Structure 1
Amino acid sequence: MEKQEKLIENIIHFKCTQIEEGMSYECISQQPYKDTVLQNMVFPFCFPEGESMINKKDGLNYHIDYEKQESFAFILTDISANRRYVYCRRFSNFKFPECFCIIAERPFESLFKKILDKAVAIRKISINLLSKFFEDIAKQNVPSINGVLTNISFHHIPYEISSEEDFSKHHSSNVLNILKLFGASFLVDIIGDIMMERKFVFLSNSIGSLSDTILTLTSLIYPFVWHHVLIPILPVQLASYPTAPMPYLIGIKTSLWEHVKKECDGGMEDTIVIDLEKGQQIEGPVFPMVFTSPNSILLRSQLSLIQNDPDPDENIELKNDTIYNMFQLFFFKIFHNYFQCFKANPGGKIKYSFDRDTFVSKLNEDDKLFFESFEDSQMCFMFFNTRAEQKSDEYQIETLCPFNRLPPKESYGFVDCGFVMENLDSGESISMVCRFCNLLITGEDPCSQRGNELYHTKCFRCCCCAKILEGNKLANCERLKCVYCHRSQKPELTVNEIQARIDSKEKRKLTKTEKLVSKTFKKRFENEKLQQN
């Protein structure tokens, strides 16, 4: 009989305590077994603010308010790059704050949310019953789609928790919120910089927003995987971590940001800093756009159409799926030919290897330029090496990769001049000539609008950084500018300089640090494989 997979690895119920040295914790319960190493690993991420969580409450009267709760998640990664997902529910308003943590190997987000909702309801009744409930949940196996979790040995309070999510999906459910927060083009540019393995810091007063945003962004690059530092919520004890030379995605509470900058002492010059309350970059360099192909311009226009839907509450789940499918289709257009690009290694320990030259020969010029930068990343190296190993182990890699299951034809609308004309106020007129290049905008061109001016979307660019702005927040000034360049008082480019950026076909150069990190990780991966063999 096939062994069934357990739903969770561990559940921990923490309570903050105060000691002379500062803040510590009490483990109220842990199921299915006690593990102090795991407790010490998880606790700092549950309360990243440190001892201020308790110090600010001294001398005040607090009552338990279960309505003021915070939901968030983070990922634990071991030295072998194995990941465990941690889903939390925190009550920071208690005099001694508490947090429930579910640790699991698979990200069953909506199911774990329902379990935590039930845990809150039981906590209102009895803390002892809550421990018994967690013990029961620790015995549950992974349910089937539309399956139901129900009591096993916990009979004090009946429960039925339905499993409605599709476990085959590789994304969370809030990508529509992320799109509206950043804007279409800024979101595409963020994904591009993640693919180039840039350093990112995200700021928010909400730890839930930090974890949701970072985990959603990493899910948008599927089937590629972020292999570097991933800390959705940075504990105050790790305040100097952003000085690390390797790429990272780090979330920091806004209240801790000045402390982190002081600890890092200017060591984050190459870090992109994004404020989630504003949905904008507030510090760091402006890198050239990673995605510049006609397909990437079409993607920006498609996303903008969803972003500006006049009925925002209609079919939210469908819109979320559509956004993910748009990104998947975009990557499909670049990578779908890789299945035929493996060559045999007679006598080698790995029977096949990725044939880079054959793959590149199948790309168009725009995608070729992107790949020549992307291939230097650990993300690219691991993706194709993993596929080569799977093929060597006689797996049908076509059945393992979503690129084999996506439609090759376009199926999504975009913002064109017809859409703009339909949404004009009665009596208003607008020229169909692009304000930048002075060429006619046809119905086949994605187009962008600013007031009564129309642009080709490829021409709708910031006059300082030359990035496409479709769907983004614009600065309130005479020339077309992004908010970051306007606030930072970046120098303006001439029309000819912007046109040169549009026509530029230069490969993005890696920095010395990026080259060193990439080389180090590839060498470590190769050494690990030799040891295993």
Structure 2
Amino acid sequence: MLKWIYVPTCAHQEVQTYFEKHERPFSEALKARFDDLKKKIVPDMKHGMSSSSQTSEDPLKVNKRCRNQVRDKINQAFSILRRYVQGKQDDGMDQADTLDTLSNDSDSFVDVAEILKRKTYASTIRNKTYQSIKKSKEFLTRIYPQLFEYAVIVGLRPVPAGQGYEPYIIHKFPEIRNYKVSTEGHLYVCTNMVDSNVSVPLFCFPDAADFKPEKNMKSQSYSFVLTNFDGGRVFGYCKRVQVPESRLPEVLCIISPVDASNMYNTLLNEIELKRVKTLELAQELLAASFGRPLPKPGQDVQIRCLDEIGEMETIHLNRPSDARLENVQYDCLLPYLGTDKLIKVFSSLLLERRIILCSNNLSCLTQAIHAIVALLYPFHWQHIYIPILPAAMLDVCCSPTPYLIGILTSHLNQVLDMPLDEVVIVDLDKKNIIQTVGDESTILPKKIIKALKMAINMCKLDIEAERSQSLMISEAFLRVFVETVGHYGEFITTQQDNKRIFLKENFISKVESHGLQQFLEWFTETQMFEVFITNHLEKRDWGTVDIFMSRVMEYRDGSGPSTERPGIGTKVKNFGKAIKSKLA
């Protein structure tokens, strides 16, 4: 008699595949028994609880269990790498699996001349951008007495004696703030009121020339980032809305020196509710918001204003402790790029190259670029960053410095005709990399790539992982930095003069894997690594890397979720062996 065995979520399909592969009859009676078992197990796998207790369980406990499950899978994927680097053997791993995982490891070794070329490139970029990075730190430490720099409501109007539309400012608050963007993408203060905001409306409507009115248009949220001459970044948060009195949409735009998308998007949602009623209500909320001080990271601010019937209402806004991990939709990356292409784009970012992403959808473009940059945590992208580039500024793509730029697909052919050297171009809509440098598969060590692929692909194994796909992706890429640079703290030392220094050469040689050593030789020359280490030497930004530091401690102490529990792959394999032995 066939005994009942624990069946994971995907086991039913595995069993059916097994029978088909070996051309064995899968009787209706046996199939019915598996179907019945699946009905009993799947709800528990999906929700982790019985239906009677589902509504009463604490959501915080559910989230904690979900995080632990994800981190267990990450540990399983990277355990092979960790055992290999430490020179340990896993008795529970099949020999074939070990050989497959570690085969072709010599491919991790890159030609010495190529490593030297990457080191030279990274150090050259770092030296060119040092002053602007130094200035940008000053902007981060400033205290702002108002919630934002200024806000505009931008509309569309037909181009005189021509086709298409052009953006124009319907309302601006306050009027004394005057900015303009140069053709190089830099922001500067204007002295002439007539020139005020000549370029910012183009970022609000980058598709103005090709815009076609739509019926029942849904609201879209997107953003843009500009860099001024002093190295400080200015962020633009946009909400495109359809107003009842016009067939053309308007864009509500907030300009701020602070990266806090969730806080400002919450405010834009409130402004949208006012704007669809009357323009005056939206203007009143903008005025009331501007007068409130910008909260410190992790704190709240309250905005009080009158509603349409004259009653006072309060709006609560929260500024996150670390905006890099806020409101990031990592799960959008796999549908747009897939695993292999995502790793190639991530690798190009690590080498601080020029990258262009294109799409027809503004929200898609903003979400994807924001998520890709967030994968660099705990590091910062230190260079040109423009999620949406207007058609009038496409010449910025010819910049010799590193950048991450988003363009509309309608502008792609124009960009491809430009003299672009070593630029990675990705079409998100077609899920295709149009142009590459050619060495993207060798930027990361092969062992890291294999472990990263295994971790990402675990999202597709069962329903529980699929529901946690965003967390799975963020934790997988964070683990890459834990594995490669997590030991940096051992090599920060204090000299006799109380000056803290970083022993870079000792840091690199500490790693046993030659492939990882080659990676660190050039990565330690990048601007993002230099800023990261400098912040720690100067004891800055400690609060913004708490998650990274906790993962490093878990990695060292083994205090994280257990890595010894059998994973879904082991369960499926054991289940298949059990069935085979019963029916042999």
TM class by shorter-chain length?
0.5 to 0.7
Partner of residue 325 from structure 1, selected from 465, 475, 480: 475
Is 1:170 matched with 2:324? yes
Match of 2:529 in 1: 380
CA distance in 1, matches of 2:495, 2:545: 22
In structure 2, the CA distance between the partners of 1:106 and 1:73, relative to structure 1 (3 Å rule), is same
| Residue 502 of structure 2, aligned match among 348, 351, 354 | 354
> Pick from 31, 36, 47: which aligns with 2:178?
36
The residue identity in structure 2 corresponding to 1:175 is Y
Q: TM-score, normalised by structure 1?
A: 0.66
Indicate if the aligned counterparts of 1:199 and 1:271 stay in contact, CA closer than 8 A.
yes
Alignment counterpart, residue 447 of structure 2, candidates 294, 318, 321: 294
Looking at structure 2, the residues matched to 301 and 164 of structure 1 have their Cα atoms a distance apart, in angstroms, of: 36
State which of 398, 401, 405 in structure 1 corresponds to 2:550. 405
Q: Which moved more, 1:286-295 or 1:154-163?
A: 154-163
TM-score scaled by structure 2? 0.61
| Distance in 2 (alpha carbons) for counterparts of 1:312 and 1:342 | 38
Contact 1:132/1:154, CA 8 A, preserved across alignment: no
CA–CA distance in structure 2, aligned partners of residues 417 and 211 of structure 1: 35
Of 11, 16, 25, the match for 2:156: 16
Query: Contact between 1:136 and 1:154, CA under 8 Å: does it hold in 2?
Result: no
CA-CA distance at 1:143 after TM superposition: 5.7
Q: How far apart are 1:165 and its partner, in Å?
A: 7.4
Equivalent position of 2:8 in the other structure: none
Pairing 1:277–2:429 present: yes
Greater share of residues in helix: 2
Which residue does the alignment assign to 2:390? 235
Displacement of 1:211 in angstroms is 1.4
Is the partner of 1:225 in helix, strand or coil?
coil
**Using a 3 Å threshold, how does the CA distance of structure 1 residues 3 and 143 change in structure 2: closer, same or farther?**
closer
Amino acid in structure 2 at the alignment position of 1:135: A
Instruction: Tell me how far apart the structure 1 counterparts of residues 271 and 254 of structure 2 sit (CA, whole Å).
Output: 11
When the two chains are superposed, the root-mean-square deviation of aligned CA atoms in Å is 3.7
Match of 1:80 in 2: 230
1:435-450 equivalences in 2 (<5 Å): none
Question: Closer, same or farther in 2 for the Cα pair 1:397/1:7, shift >3 Å?
Answer: closer
Residues 223 and 21 (structure 1), Cα distance of their counterparts in 2 relative to 1, 3 Å cut? farther
TM-aligned CA distance change 1:147 to 1:373, over 3 Å: closer
The runs of 5 or more residues in structure 2 that have no matched partner are: 1-141, 181-196
Closer/same/farther in 2, CA of residues 332 and 311 from structure 1, 3 Å limit: closer
Count of residue correspondences: 407
Structure 1 residues 398, 241: closer, same or farther in 2, change over 3 A? closer
Any conservation in 2 of the 1:133–1:154 contact (CA below 8 Å)? no
Where does 1:59-98 land on structure 2 (aligned, <5 Å)? Answer: 65=216, 67-91=217-241, 96-98=248-250
Deviation at 1:194, TM superposition (A): 0.5
Q: Deviations over 1:434-466 (max 9, x none)?
A: xxxxxxxxxxxxxxxxxxxxxxxxxxxxxxxxx
Preserved contact between residue 50 and residue 237 of structure 1 (Cα < 8 Å): no
Identity %: 21
Could you tell me how far apart the structure 1 residues matched to 2:493 and 2:299 are? 43
1:49 aligns with one of 207, 218, 234: 207
Distance 1:397 1:333, change over 3 A: farther
Query: Retained in 2: the 8 A contact 1:70–1:90?
Result: yes
Q: CA deviation at 1:276?
A: 0.9
Shift of 1:36: 3.1
In 2, distance between residues paired with 1:134 and 1:397?
Answer: 31
Paired with 1:160 and 1:199, the residues of 2 have a C-alpha distance of 44
Q: State the shift of 1:163 in Å.
A: 4.3
Task: Please tell me the residue identity of whatever aligns with 2:147.
Answer: L
- Report matched runs for 1:101-112 at 5 Å: 101-112=253-264
Query: 2:306–2:313: 8 Å Cα contact kept in structure 1?
Result: no
Which of the numbers 116, 137, 145 marks the counterpart of 2:289? 137
In the alignment, is the contact (CA less than 8 A) between 1:184 and 1:301 conserved in 2?
A: no
Verify the 8 A CA contact 1:175 1:323 in the aligned structure 2: yes
Q: Would you say the 8 A contact 1:90–1:99 is kept in 2?
A: yes
- What SS does the aligned partner of 1:181 have? helix
C-alpha separation between the residues in 1 aligned to 2:247 and 2:306?
33
In structure 2, distance between residues paired with 1:244 and 1:355:
34
Larger Rg: 2
| 1:73-222 equivalent positions in 2, closer than 5 A | 73-91=223-241, 96-142=248-294, 149-152=302-305, 156=310, 158-163=312-317, 166-168=320-322, 170-171=324-325, 172-222=327-377
- AA aligned to 1:404 is M
Taking the aligned partners of 1:424 and 1:181, their CA distance within structure 2 comes to 34
For 1:441, the equivalent position in structure 2 comes to none
How far does residue 195 in structure 1 lie from its aligned partner after superposition?
A: 0.3
2:483 aligned partner, one-letter code? K
Matched, 1:363 2:518: no
Classify 1:141/1:272 alpha carbon distance in 2 versus 1 (closer, same or farther; 3 Å): same
More RCO (CA 8 Å, sep 6+): 2
Does structure 2 conserve the Cα–Cα contact (< 8 Å) formed by 1:14 and 1:26? yes
Residues 248-283 of structure 1: CA deviation (Å, up to 9, x unaligned)? 211111112112323x1xx22522221111323133
Equivalent-residue separation in structure 1 for 2:572 and 2:432 (angstroms): 26
* Residue 458 of structure 2, aligned match among 305, 308, 314: 305
8 Å CA contact 2:234, 2:255 repeated in 1: yes
Higher mean displacement: 186-195 or 107-116: 107-116
2:400 aligns to what SS in structure 1? coil
CA distance in structure 2 between the partners assigned to 1:147 and 1:399 by the alignment: 17
Q: Secondary structure at the match of 2:235?
A: strand
Task: Establish whether residue 27 from structure 1 lines up as the match of residue 169 from structure 2.
Answer: yes
